[in-house]
Chains A and B, each alone.
Chain A
Amino acid sequence: IISPTWFNPTKRERKENYNIDGYYKDVLQTGRSSTPAQPRMPRPHAFHSHQLLSPKLKVLYEKERMWTAKKTAYTPNMDDVKSTYGDIEDESERKQKLALLKLSVQNAQPLTEEEEAEKIELEKEGFSNWGKLEFRKFISLSGKYGRNSIQAIAMELAPGKSVEEVREYAKAFWANIERVDDYEKILKTIEMEEDKIKRIKFQQEALRRKISQYTNPLFDLVLKHPPSSSNKRTYSEEEDRFIMLMLFKYGLDRDDLYERVRDEIRDCPLFELNFYFQSRTPIELTRRGNTLLQCLEKEFNDGIILTDENKKRIADEDIEGEKVKEEIKKEEAGAAKAQ
């Protein structure tokens, strides 16, 4: 009895017989079509904004392209409009553009000798040897090390680029950044990364200043803004002080920093019988270290703001105050006269 749920599946397709012709069809195709190729609109010359070529070069390339089209007796169509001007919503505008394109092909002239020379000259000016990949690397390295750290950036771009090449390019890049596509986005990522380095430097400085305030920081150091009290405290204050002291000892920019801190904790006879402190892994110590550094940052942020912005504000306020004083005096004097 056939179950009512039987749904009658389709038959398995049999394997086709091995088709020799089909197999060799692709292999033997050598690329040259037997039918004569339709004349095609030459594609626009590749023009990468990051290579910082002169915009004038783009004009020359376009002129050359039109001339090639004319040479092959090509009539532009709607597809060419799309590839040249991009998607256009408006029907009539599209037609206009097509007409324009046709006209430019009709009127095209080859580059003059001067133009030919100028083209070669302009191509030399830019950085056509900077590929897209290299550019992307350059951007991320400029963030990682800071934009002015050319040797460090070049180190990671070697062997493709020499230090001098990188320096030249970087100079040109920062002078003409507006010419690069999407430069706002690029700039933002670089600045964000740079801020991270600056922050670590600031923390390092804050740590130095904080520790120099005490003759025996391991016992005396007190944080002005201690770690949030709403969080569960698991480290003692003494342990926190020790971590900060070790961060200062080794400096914040070593990659094995917290492994060092861990070993220092183990080696320190003061914590010989302290299983909590000794059980902290480098990852856990990193978390605590960052928390403590943020607390320090807060403490010294106050001071820094006072020196930069507030100074001007205070000076302005002083001038304002003087003015107000003068006015009051004048008014009083006026009132006295009237009496």
Chain B
Amino acid sequence: SLDYIPPVNTENWTPMLPLSTLDFKNAHSVISRFKNPNLMAVPYAGDVMKLMSFINKFYIFFDNELLNLSFQDFEIGLDLYPVTPQDIGMEFDNKKLLYQDYISVKEVIACQDKMNLVFLSLLRLLFDSSDSDRSREHNPVASLADLQTSKKVYAKYIEKLRETSLDWGYPQEWRKQINEGDDISKPKSKMFENDDTIPVDPKNPLILTENIYEWQKLAPIDEEDNPLFVPDIEKIGILALYPNDRIILFRALVDWCSANSPKVHNEIHFLSHFKKDPTFGIQTQHVPRYFLEGSKTTMLQFQRLCEIMEIRMEVRSKRKHVKKQIAEGKNEDFAKKMEILNHIKASYSSLTAEEKKKSIIENYDNWTKLFKGELHDNPLSDPYEDELYKLRSQEFFISRIPQVGDFYIPRLHSYSDSPVSVSTYTDLRSLENLLDKFNDGKYDTHYLFENFGQALSSQFKLLYHDTPTLISDMGKPRAKKGKVYWYEMCQDSNTLLEFIDFLDYKIASPVEKPKKKVKEEVENNTSENLQAIPEAKEPEPENVETDVKNEEPENLDPTINKKPLPKESRFNASRRKLKQLQDYLKRLYHILHAFEQLKKEYAGMKSGKRTLRRIQRRITYNDSDFD
């Protein structure tokens, strides 16, 4: 009816959506299905992600030199290597290639310096308390120059750290392990031999403390094994530790900073105490809507929102009191909005339904004017713009595949105060536009250089998070320590292409042929021998399985699993989402490739106005020349 105003707030229209752990409650890991030559287990990936995420969210405390770190910079700087999945947990010294074997020494040292700068920054965040300075402007606590000023730049912090870190809690790896048989929740010993059993007050016979128990205490490992007490750490910083301990200390420092650095703790308080909450409430983590639901769905949702808005305004404009108000000039706000709406509608009059939908997206700016006062944000607004979402946002997330897990591409610079226009951390419309430009070749490496592309991570890795296994381990009483949930699917644009191809095997629907084959056989049997029917039916289910394996002649290669995902219907959604992921990666490839080239061609060169002009004149070769 005319009177009904459809509500706009029953659904949430936020650009961010919660990423729920419940999605994987009943899923089982399928990591073996993703076996391919580029698949590597990365035990330290979570810690590197954590550091990158920390630097990303709290970039105001970090030097510009650190805001474009790549995952690889951490690996090279800290000397960390991914392992093949079968080598998880094994110590092996005979690594095939070390970074210094194929990367120039200068580059390795540059990464190491940056790691020490991260180290110094975290230490200063912890102990330099200039609490008066509460501005939220970009104000780094340490720069590369600081590393060269004094030989003992870390000394005074390390000393304090050794004292205070005990109270702050040691990382798991540096705590004394509890004996296997000991149950942490059970008391270690009783204070008294026998419990109190006879009450002294017969009127109130309840015995409240029968015994006093001594509990298992947490203790740090012995000082001689404690990495914090390595003597060289004062002089040479983070590199004084063994590679594995380096990343552990980094992780611990981030933990300690979050809880104990006045600056960081204040910032977290600020980010967690806004007057309003997201429409979906406080959720553990959230991710951009267009990554969770896909860009098409997100666009459709925006169009749906516009349609609802249109109906709402039309119904309202026909109401008597509103008409009167407008006539008397009392509701100018609404009158203006109606004007905009009529303007938009007029431009639609000659369009088909399909064109109209497209034009809604193109008319984004006008439409959002109509939302003012009713909706804070919409599915297409920039998920990184509103600080409301910042603290719990997973910026590196790119996709969630049902029954499979999550995919991340850690690259820095989601938030910034610098004039970067080539960031992929933006609203869906700008992102699509950016990707299109790189796909069409309109934008290239040079364009990145001109537009401060160096402020972003130049290299990348595509990481797979085995969320199903993680979630199912959570339900178990004590999860195995040192278990790996992070895998690397590719580490540069070349291997990305290989992964994109590999996805074809997983997207493909399993062939239904085997069943028919068996049936044919059965039919053949019936025609030949009627009595054989019952016998022939029995082996059917088994045959299906074995036949599927035999169907794939290519599957002989042991390094790659070309089997499709299981054919159960619950994997159909996985296939759909994988296709979405593949499409996105195909488009993302060009810009990621350009970023890699940026590092190769313009390594560290600062773009000023003069250099820019000269470079534009000088570079006349095209891609084929370069190869």
Q: A interface vs B, CB < 8 Å?
A: 145-152, 155, 167, 170-171, 173-174, 194, 197-198, 201, 216, 218-219, 232-239, 249-251, 254, 256, 259-260, 262-263, 266-281
> A239 with B284: in contact, given A259-B218, A262-B169, A273-B53 (CB under 8 Å)?
yes
In-complex Cβ contact of B273 among A149, A152, A232, A266 (8 A): A232
Cβ–Cβ < 8 Å partners of B392 in chain A: 236, 274, 276
B340 within 8 A of A: no
Contact A148 B205 (CB under 8 A): yes
- Of B146-154, B255-263, B504-512, B540-548, which binds chain A? B255-263
Cβ–Cβ < 8 Å partners of B283 in chain A: 236, 238
Binary flags per residue of B194-217, CB closer than 8 Å to A gives 1, else 0: 001001111111111111100101
Cβ–Cβ < 8 Å partners of A237 in chain B: 282
B285 within 8 A of A: yes
**Chain B CB within 10 A, most for which of A145, A148, A236, A268:** A148
**Which residues of chain B in 240-286 are interfacial with respect to chain A, using CB atoms and an 8 Å cutoff?**
255, 258-260, 264-265, 268, 271-273, 277, 281-285
A-B contact pairs, 26 of them (CB 8 A): A145-B208, A146-B206, A146-B208, A147-B208, A149-B207, A149-B210, A151-B191, A152-B191, A155-B192, A174-B204, A197-B208, A197-B209, A198-B206, A216-B475, A219-B475, A236-B283, A239-B284, A259-B218, A260-B218, A263-B218, A269-B470, A269-B485, A272-B49, A275-B268, A278-B259, A281-B260
Identify 12 new A-B residue pairs, CB closer than 8 A, beyond the known A216-B475, A273-B285, A278-B258. Answer: A146-B206, A147-B208, A148-B199, A151-B211, A167-B200, A197-B208, A263-B172, A266-B169, A270-B471, A273-B46, A275-B54, A280-B259
Minimum distance in angstroms from B44 CB to a CB of chain A: 12
Cβ–Cβ < 8 Å partners of A256 in chain B: 215, 217-218
Cβ–Cβ < 8 Å partners of A270 in chain B: 21, 470-471, 474
In-complex Cβ contact of A272 among B50, B169, B264 (8 A): B50
Contact B201 A279 (CB under 8 A): no
Binary flags per residue of B396-427, CB closer than 8 Å to A gives 1, else 0: 00000000000000000000000000000000
Cβ–Cβ < 8 Å partners of B210 in chain A: 149
B391 within 8 A of A: yes
Cβ–Cβ < 8 Å partners of A151 in chain B: 191-192, 196, 211-212
> A174 with B201: in contact, given A198-B208, A256-B218, A278-B258 (CB under 8 Å)?
yes
Contact A274 B285 (CB under 8 A): yes
Q: What is the bound-complex CA distance between A100 and B207, given in angstroms?
A: 51
Residue of B nearest to A152 (CB): B209
Residue of A nearest to B20 (CB): A238
> A276 with B200: in contact, given A152-B212, A216-B475 (CB under 8 Å)?
no
Contact B46 A272 (CB under 8 A): yes
Minimum distance in angstroms from B12 CB to a CB of chain A: 16
Cβ–Cβ < 8 Å partners of B207 in chain A: 146, 148-149
How many of chain B's residues touch chain A, expressed as a range? 35 or more
Binary flags per residue of B169-205, CB closer than 8 Å to A gives 1, else 0: 1011001000000001100000110001001111111
Binary flags per residue of B43-61, CB closer than 8 Å to A gives 1, else 0: 0001001100110010000
B25 within 8 A of A: yes
Q: What is the bound-complex CA distance between A237 and B212, given in angstroms?
A: 34
Cβ–Cβ < 8 Å partners of B169 in chain A: 259, 262-263, 266
B394 within 8 A of A: yes
Minimum distance in angstroms from B212 CB to a CB of chain A: 6
B556 within 8 A of A: no
Minimum distance in angstroms from A218 CB to a CB of chain B: 6
- Determine the main DSSP class of A at the interface with B: helix
**Chain A CB within 10 A, most for which of B53, B196, B255:** B196
Residue of A nearest to B46 (CB): A272
Residue of A nearest to B264 (CB): A279
B103 within 8 A of A: no
Q: What number of residue pairs across chains A and B have CB atoms under 8 A from each other?
A: 149
B22 within 8 A of A: yes
Contact B171 A266 (CB under 8 A): yes
Cβ–Cβ < 8 Å partners of B191 in chain A: 151-152, 155
**Which residues of chain B in 439-481 are interfacial with respect to chain A, using CB atoms and an 8 Å cutoff?**
470-471, 474-475, 479
Q: What is the bound-complex CA distance between A267 and B474, given in angstroms?
A: 12
Q: What is the bound-complex CA distance between A28 and B208, given in angstroms?
A: 58
Cβ–Cβ < 8 Å partners of B281 in chain A: 233
Minimum distance in angstroms from B262 CB to a CB of chain A: 12
Cβ–Cβ < 8 Å partners of B203 in chain A: 174
Cβ–Cβ < 8 Å partners of A194 in chain B: 208
User: Which 9 pairs from chain A and chain B are nearest by CB?
Assistant: A146-B208, A279-B258, A149-B209, A174-B201, A148-B199, A145-B209, A170-B200, A148-B207, A236-B284
Cβ–Cβ < 8 Å partners of B212 in chain A: 151-152, 155
Cβ–Cβ < 8 Å partners of B196 in chain A: 148-152
In-complex Cβ contact of A275 among B46, B57, B479 (8 A): B57
Contact B49 A276 (CB under 8 A): no
Contact A233 B208 (CB under 8 A): no
Minimum distance in angstroms from A224 CB to a CB of chain B: 18
Contact A147 B264 (CB under 8 A): no
> A281 with B185: in contact, given A219-B25, A238-B284, A276-B392 (CB under 8 Å)?
no
Cβ–Cβ < 8 Å partners of A171 in chain B: 200
In-complex Cβ contact of B46 among A251, A263, A269 (8 A): A269
Minimum distance in angstroms from B18 CB to a CB of chain A: 9
Cβ–Cβ < 8 Å partners of A201 in chain B: 208
In-complex Cβ contact of A218 among B200, B258, B265, B475 (8 A): B475
Residue of A nearest to B170 (CB): A263
> A279 with B259: in contact, given A146-B206, A236-B283, A254-B215 (CB under 8 Å)?
yes
Cβ–Cβ < 8 Å partners of A239 in chain B: 284
Cβ–Cβ < 8 Å partners of B391 in chain A: 275-276
Minimum distance in angstroms from A184 CB to a CB of chain B: 15
Minimum distance in angstroms from B470 CB to a CB of chain A: 6
Q: What is the bound-complex CA distance between A332 and B235, given in angstroms?
A: 103
Cβ–Cβ < 8 Å partners of B204 in chain A: 147-148, 174
Minimum distance in angstroms from B73 CB to a CB of chain A: 19
Minimum distance in angstroms from B390 CB to a CB of chain A: 10
Q: What is the bound-complex CA distance between A216 and B476, given in angstroms?
A: 9
Cβ–Cβ < 8 Å partners of B53 in chain A: 273, 275
